[in-house]
Amino acid sequence: MTDIFREVDEEVRAQKLEAFWKKYSTLLVAVAVLLIAAVGGWRYFVHVNETAAAASAVRFEEALDLSRQGKPADAEKVLNELAGSGADGYRRLSRFRAAAEIAATDPGAGAKAFDALAADAALDKTLQDLARLRAAALLVDTISPDDLAARIGGLSQAGQPWRNGARELLGLARFKAGDMKGASGYFEQMALDPAATDQMRQRAQIMLGLVRGGTVPTK
């Protein structure tokens, strides 16, 4: 008797499944096709991006080699090409490296190139601020401490990702101008900031020794 009920139950399920398939088969096939196309499209997208990134990496290394060979103009040409048509990350990286290549032979022009990056709203704010800092580093010997502070004073505040780099430049500018009190404040902030690297803290201690007229650490 149990076998009869099971057979009837299976027959009913089979009939329901057949009816369901007749009613929704077109839709199910369409969904399956879309899923297959989506997976295939995504894999193609990943493949294209990986291929582009690999090609950009090769070109970027080529630019670095040209730079090491003392051919900044050739390196800049390759970098500018990457900046226009390279993989996404390499476009940004190439723009920064191209500015550095310009700065190697003309600091003033290099500063302008970094200023252009700092003004580019398409870049992430962290990268814009980095460009501001790089421009300031090129100008630290040619502009006044107040002008430098107008450029990067905000970057030295607590919580800013490049704060210790900005503090170091601002402190050096004050030191060169004879403002020992102002310089001391920046170097003290560097020395006490747990986020500063060991090298940064060491340089800050050295500068504090000079500022205060004490013994300059040698290690």
* DSSP for 134-185, written as a single string: HHHHHHTTTS-HHHHHHHHGGGGSTT-TTHHHHHHHHHHHHHHTT-HHHHHH
* Residue of 160, 140, 156 lying closest to 148 (CA atoms): 140
Report the range of poorest mean pLDDT among 12-16, 62-66, 203-207.
12-16
What is the average pLDDT across 170-185?
Answer: 94
Is the pTM here over 0.75, yes or no?
no
Q: Which two tokens stand for residue 196?
A: 């500063």
Residue 22 clears pLDDT 70, i.e. is over it: no
Q: Are 193 and 185 in contact (CB under 8 A)?
A: no
Q: Which pLDDT score is estimated for 100? A: 87
What is the average pLDDT across 200-212?
Answer: 92
Residue 60 clears pLDDT 70, i.e. is over it: no
Residue 95 clears pLDDT 80, i.e. is over it: yes
The secondary structure of the chain in percent helix, strand, coil, rounded to multiples of 5, reads 80, 0, 20
Q: Which pLDDT score is estimated for 47? A: 42
Q: Which pLDDT score is estimated for 200? A: 94
How far is Cα 99 from Cα 76, in angstroms, rounded to an integer? 8
Q: What angle do CA 134, 79, 58 make, to 5 degrees?
A: 120
How far is Cα 5 from Cα 1, in angstroms, rounded to an integer? 7
How far is Cα 34 from Cα 96, in angstroms, rounded to an integer? 42
What is the average pLDDT across 203-216?
Answer: 81
- In tens, the pLDDT along 62-79 reads 766 776 777 777 777 777
Q: Are 174 and 167 in contact (CB under 8 A)?
A: no
What is the tally of helices (H) and strands (E) in the chain? 9, 0
How far is Cα 144 from Cα 154, in angstroms, rounded to an integer? 16
Q: Please give the mean pLDDT across all residues of the chain.
A: 79
Residue 169 clears pLDDT 60, i.e. is over it: yes
Q: Which pLDDT score is estimated for 98? A: 87
What is the average pLDDT across 4-19?
Answer: 56
